[in-house]
Amino acid sequence: MTSTQSPIVTDPNYKPLPGRIGNLTIPQQHTLEKFKKALEEEGWYDAERHDDATLLRFLRARKFDLEKALAMFIANEKWRKEFGVDEIVKSFDFKEKQEVDKFYPQYYHKMDKDGRPIYIERLGQLNVNELWKITTQDRLIKRLVLEYEKFLTERLPACSRAVGHPVETSCTILDLKGVGIKQFFDVKGSVQKASEIGQDRYPECMGKFYIINAPWGFSTVWSLVKGWLDPVTVAKISILGSSYQKDLLAQIPEENLPHDLGGKCRCAQGCSLSDAGPWNLPIEKQQGVSIGDAKEGQPTV
């Protein structure tokens, strides 16, 4: 898809990380070429969706092991067809968003200091009894998939244009304030399914991940959750208690962090429904947008 292509680099200080376009070893470049050729020969390659940055996400996820990356990629393409991802993108309407926000806030909100879109999830505000009155686990999973697709085709390209270099990952904040062990196990199935989709279908999209307000006894839950994640993912996660503001503000401008998380942002609609970010601007106006100058948009799915 055209919107996933890497932007023109205007940031003079940009240096791509290893394994990315512009910083591949000769063996990695050869593996990328072999990967693309194999997908073409087997009929899985789609030039509209499968740019080099996308192929490299799967290669990095499997440490440039060609056979393992091919297996992962093909399994993903089969899943997309079986799950109906294209149809979800085309027609899924999460009309209960504003009601769900009252009982399980999950939303994108502006950018961190590296230009990553910030994703915030308030698990501590989860009310399972009320949630299942207005939606279902199947609809929540479809919403998750739609948000991943928008993340790749709308949010990342807009952030990339804003900062003048490719942005390929998110900065996630998972707030556990008020979460109890029972509350977690009430949604264990949904959380596990979401984790599997993120790892297996949208690999290498996590940049920073902060778990804040981790309660007493969280080690029990974490020992379970770690079993669903690969070691590379686990290494990107920072577990913080209630004194998290300093860590968050080291990565996120205070004007982009919601006020109830220690920042200064007070969106008119409420941060969880504002969808504030450069992705709300016309493409021609996204170039060079200040990280702190993110615009509110219409509530989205």
pLDDT digits (tens, 9 = 90+) for 45-61: 999 999 999 999 999 99
Mean pLDDT of the 21-27 span = 97
> What order do you get walking across the sheet with 206-212 strand by strand?
106-111, 117-122, 170-175, 206-212, 237-239
7-38 burial: b if 16+ Cβ within 10 Å, else e: beeeeeeeeeeebbeeebeeebeebbeebeeb
Lowest mean pLDDT of 39-53, 104-118, 187-201, 216-230, name the range: 216-230
Tens digits of residue pLDDT in 212-244: 998 777 777 777 777 777 787 788 889 888 999
Which residue in this structure is represented by tokens 């399914």?
Answer: 193
Cα gap 57→203, rounded to integer Å: 6
Cα gap 210→220, rounded to integer Å: 18
Name the token pair of 160: 């990339």
Mean pLDDT of the 111-124 span = 95
Name the token pair of 85: 């991802």
The bridge status of strand 117-122 relative to strand 106-111 is: antiparallel
Q: Considering the entire predicted model, what is its pTM? A: 0.90
Instruction: Indicate whether 294 pLDDT > 70.
Output: no
Mean of the per-residue pLDDT values for the chain? 90
pLDDT band with cut points at 50, 70 and 90 for residue 299: very low
Tens digits of residue pLDDT in 246-284: 999 999 999 999 999 999 999 998 999 999 999 999 988
Lowest mean pLDDT of 15-24, 183-192, 193-202, name the range: 183-192
Mean pLDDT of the 23-41 span = 98
Angle at 208 between CA 213 and CA 266, to 5 degrees: 60
Amino acid at 58: F
In the chain, the domains with their CATH numbers are 26-83 (1.10.8.20), 94-285 (3.40.525.10)
Instruction: Indicate whether 295 pLDDT > 70.
Output: no
Name the token pair of 274: 């504002």
Instruction: Indicate whether 301 pLDDT > 60.
Output: no
Mean pLDDT of the 148-176 span = 96
Which has more pLDDT, 300 or 217?
217
Name the token pair of 33: 């070429």
pLDDT of residue 7: 58
pLDDT of residue 2: 38
Q: List, in sequence order, every residue forming a beta bridge with 237; answer none if it has no partner.
A: 209
Which has more pLDDT, 214 or 93?
93
Which has more pLDDT, 125 or 119?
119
